[in-house]
Structure 1
C-alpha cells in the first residue's frame, strides 16, 4: 500500500480527488491524505513518509515547484505528479526538469489522473529492481565481507556448520578444505591505562598486519574475536615446484612457532605491548577445529597461560598432567559460554539460535557424566540464565507463582538425564510466559485500537494516525492487526463506520448529512455513494426499509 498526498489550495478539488481515489480502492491500494497548501503538505511530510504527491503547480505562497524541491530533501524516492489548470509549457518543462513523474492538466479528467498515479506507483515498485540497486548491493556486499568472513569462521569454530570450499571462495578466505589447518590463539596480555579503545583496536590490527607479512608465504586467515584476542588459521603455501623436496609433517608447526617468537619480539619493541600465544603442535582436520579451539583457549587462559609473553602449545596439557581433560569437556564449556552470551528474546532467528545451542550443549553434556565440575557449571549456568529470562516475563498471576523462584541443587536429581529433563521443563516455563506476555500485549493493543476507532468514527482514522496512538510502525501495525483479527485495519474501520451509519439511520432522526459527519465523511454525496457501494442501497432507501 502506498501513501498519496493531494495538495491544492482549492478545497473542492482536494476533496473531490480524495473521494475519487477512495472509490478506486479496489484497483489502487492507497492511503489518501490531503493538504490545502504547500506548507500544510510539508507539515504532513514531517510526520509520515509519503510515496506519491498529487500537487497543484500554481499555489499562493509556496508553489508546486518549490514544494517538490522541499520534498526531495525529505523523501527522495517520493514521486510528484503536478496538476495545472493552465496549459503552460514553461511550467511543464520546469516541472519535468526537476524530476516530476508527470505533468497533467486538471481538464484532462479523472481517468488521466488515475493513470498518472498508477504509473507513479508502478515506477516505485520497479525502482527496487533497477541496476543501480543491484550495483549498490554488490558494493555493500564487498564492504561487509570482513564481517561475513568473521561470522562464518566463528560459526565453524563453534561447530555450528561444516567447512565448504565454495563458501570459502565466495568470501575470499584463502584456505582449502582438502588440507588440514594449524591453529594459533593469541592475546594482548594487558593494555596500559593511557591507551584508548581506538588505539587498542589500531594496535591489534597492527599485530594482524605483522602476522600477514611474516606468514605471507603461507595461507593465512586472521580472525579477531575482540580487540585483544587473535585466532589465526594457517596452511602450507603454494604447491611445490617440480622436483622440490616436500615439507616434513611438522615443518609448518615449527615454522609457525619460530615466527611467533619474532612477532612477540617485534610487538614488544615497536608496539610496546606483550603478546601471548597458544599454538597447535599439529594441523587439524576441519571437523576437529571446534575441539582444538576450545583446547587452545584452555591452554592460553588457565594455569601457566595466565602469565605474560607466553608461547605454549597444546602439548603443555600433557606435560602438566592436565591432558586428561576430554574433548567433550572442553567443547561443553565452550558451548555453555556461547549459550550464556546469546540474547534469546529478540528476533525469531535469535530464539532459534538459542534453542539450537541449548540442544547442542545437552548433547555434549551426556559425554561428561563423570565430570561433576562441568555438570555443575552447566546446571547452574543454565539455571541462572533461565531464572533471569523467566523473571523478565512474569506478570499477573505468574508474578505470584513462588515456584519460579525455587531452584533445587544438583544433588537433588538422581541422574543427569533427570537433571536435563528439569532444565527442559524450566525452559518450557519461560517459553510459556514469554508467549503469554506477547499475546497479552497484542490483545491490549488490538483492544485499544478497537476502542479508539469506536469512539472516534468522526475523526481521522488513517493508518498513520492509528499507529501514532499505539506507538507502532504503520506497516507493522497493519500486519499485526490482520494477523490477529483476520481483517485489514482499513476494512475494519470501514465496517465500523457502516455499522454506526446503519444504526443511526435506523434509530435516530438525524439528517443524512449529519450522519455522514458522525461517521467521518466530509460530504453527504460521497457518503451516499460509498454507502450504496457497501450495502446496495442509498442511505434514504436503507432508512425507509428499516422503518
Structure 2
C-alpha cells in the first residue's frame, strides 16, 4: 500500500523511507510518499489527516494523480496563509483608523476615566487612561506633486508604524491620523521605579526630541516626506486633551519659517490661550452629527456647554459669540434645507442675530429652534412607524388564510424581521403572533355563522389546512370547539 501526503518525499525502500535520520513519515511534520506492508504503519497513517491510500497494483497513473492532488492542496494552503496575512494587515490598518476616529471624537470633549478604560480595551489602545500623556503633532509634506488622498493616508500610516518602532525602546506611543491628515502622537514613558513621575516625563521628552529627529531623516531618505513636529513637553491630563491639542496646532501654525525638519517643543506655560474658533468648529461638527442622528440629549448638552463659553466671553467684545451664533444657525438651516422643513420651522430669524435683544435671547432662540427640529423628527418617526404597522395590519386582515410568517410580513414593508417584531409590539402593545391569532379567531367566528361553510373550510380560510389543528386552536382560544360555537350561534 502507498501512502501519499502533502509535500512529496520518496523512499526507494521501506527502510530508507521510514528511518533515514530518524524520520517518521507519519508525523505531523513529515509529508511523504512511501510504502510498507506492515499493517501497524498503515493503521498509524490512517489516524492522520490529509492522507491518501493507494495499492501498489493501482499503477503509476493513480500515484501521479494522488501526488498532483497533494501539490494542489499545498498550493491552496499557501494561498490561504497569504490571505490570512493580508487580512491581518488590513485588520491592523482598520484598527488604526478606528483609533483615529475615536480620538477625533475624544478631542471634541471629555469622558470619564472608567469609560476611557473600556474604550481603550475594546480598541486595542495600549495607553493608560489613569496617567497623563505627552502630545506631539506631526505635519507631513510630500515631495512628489499631485499626490492623492490614498497616497497621503498610506504615507501617514507608514510614518505612524515607523515612529512607534522608534519610540518603543523607552515609551508607549500611539500614532493617530487627525482630520487634517496630520499625525498626532500620544506618548507615555515606560516607568522607571528609581525616578519620580516628573523626572520620568522630563527624561522622556529628551528621548523624544532625539528620536523624532531620527524619524525625520528616515522619512526624508526612505519615503520622500518632510515631517515637522511640535512636541508639548508638559504632561497632559486626558480631560485637557482637546485644549492642549488646540494649543499645539496653534503653535505649529505660528512657527518660524516653513518649519521644515523642525522639532519644536512648547510648554503649556508659554503658549497663548487656546483658539476657541477651532474648538468651536469641532464642536459644531459634533452638534451636526447629534442633530442628524436624532440624539437630542447629547445635542442640548453640548449646546449648553457652548452657551457657557458665551457667558465667559462677554467681556471680550462678543466676537466669539458672533462666530458661535452663525455657526449653529448655519447647521440648523442646513438641516432644515435638507429635510425641506421650511413650512414647519420659521427660518427668517435664523440669520438675523440683531433681531434679538441680548446674547442670552439669541442663544435661547437657537435652542428652541433645535428642540422644534427634534420634535418634528420624533413625530415624523412615529407617523411613519404607525403607517408601516397599519400597512402590516391591513395585509394580515386581507390575507388571513395565507402564509403570515414574520419573514413574509417583513418583506411587505421592507423591514428586517426582528425590527418589525419589536416595532409592532411597541406600536400595538402585543406581539405580532398574538395579533394574527386575534384576527384569525375573529374571522373564524364570523365564518362559522355561515351554515353553508363546513368546519374544515372555515379552518382553511383562516390559515389552517388541517381541521384538527383548527379545532385545537379554536378551543384553546375560546374554550369551545368550532362545532359547539356554531351550535350556540344557531340557538
Q: TM-score, normalised by structure 1?
A: 0.62
Q: Aligned in 2, Cα 1:371/1:181: closer, same or farther, shift over 3 Å?
A: farther
Partner of 2:306: 361
1:279-316 per-residue CA deviation (whole Å, 9 max, x = no partner) reads 22433344433211111123335786987555544479
1:177-218 per-residue CA deviation (whole Å, 9 max, x = no partner) reads 45x433111121347456565554443233223323443343
Partner of 2:41: none
CA distance in 2, matches of 1:291, 1:471: 46
Aligned residue runs from structure 1 range 158-197, under 5 A: 158-163=108-113, 170=121, 173-175=126-128, 177-178=130-131, 180-190=132-142, 192=144, 195=147, 197=149
Partner of 2:329: 383
1:376-411 per-residue CA deviation (whole Å, 9 max, x = no partner) reads 3322222222223334455xxx66336246524223
Larger C-alpha radius of gyration, 1 or 2?
2
Aligned residue runs from structure 1 range 73-472, under 5 A: 150=100, 153-154=103-104, 156-163=106-113, 170=121, 173-175=126-128, 177-178=130-131, 180-190=132-142, 192=144, 195=147, 197-226=149-178, 228-239=181-192, 241=194, 247=199, 252-301=204-253, 311-314=263-266, 325-326=273-274, 331-340=279-288, 342=289, 344-346=291-293, 353-369=298-314, 370=316, 372-394=318-340, 400-401=343-344, 403-404=346-347, 406-472=349-415
Contact 1:505 1:539 in 2 (8 A): yes
Of residues 216-225 and 328-337 in structure 1, the stretch that sits farther from structure 2 once superposed is 328-337
1:301-344 per-residue CA deviation (whole Å, 9 max, x = no partner) reads 578698755554447997xxxx654576664454334434x254
Aligned length: 394
Q: Aligned in 2, Cα 1:153/1:402: closer, same or farther, shift over 3 Å?
A: closer
1:439-480 per-residue CA deviation (whole Å, 9 max, x = no partner) reads 111011111111111111121111111111111111111111
Deviation of the 1:517 alpha carbon:
2.4
Query: Once superposed, which parts of structure 1, at least 4 consecutive aligned residues long, lie more than 6 Å away?
Result: 142-145, 302-307, 315-318
Deviation of the 1:496 alpha carbon:
0.8
Contact 2:231 2:248 in 1 (8 A): yes
Q: In structure 2, the residue corresponding to 1:427 is in which secondary structure?
A: helix
Partner of 2:431: 488
- Structure 1 unmatched runs, 5+: 1-138
Deviation of the 1:535 alpha carbon:
1.2
Q: TM-score, normalised by structure 2?
A: 0.68
- Greater relative contact order (Cα 8 A, min sep 6): structure 1 or 2? 2
Q: Aligned in 2, Cα 1:408/1:508: closer, same or farther, shift over 3 Å?
A: farther
Contact 2:396 2:404 in 1 (8 A): yes
Contact 2:441 2:474 in 1 (8 A): yes
Contact 2:113 2:129 in 1 (8 A): no
Partner of 2:457: 514
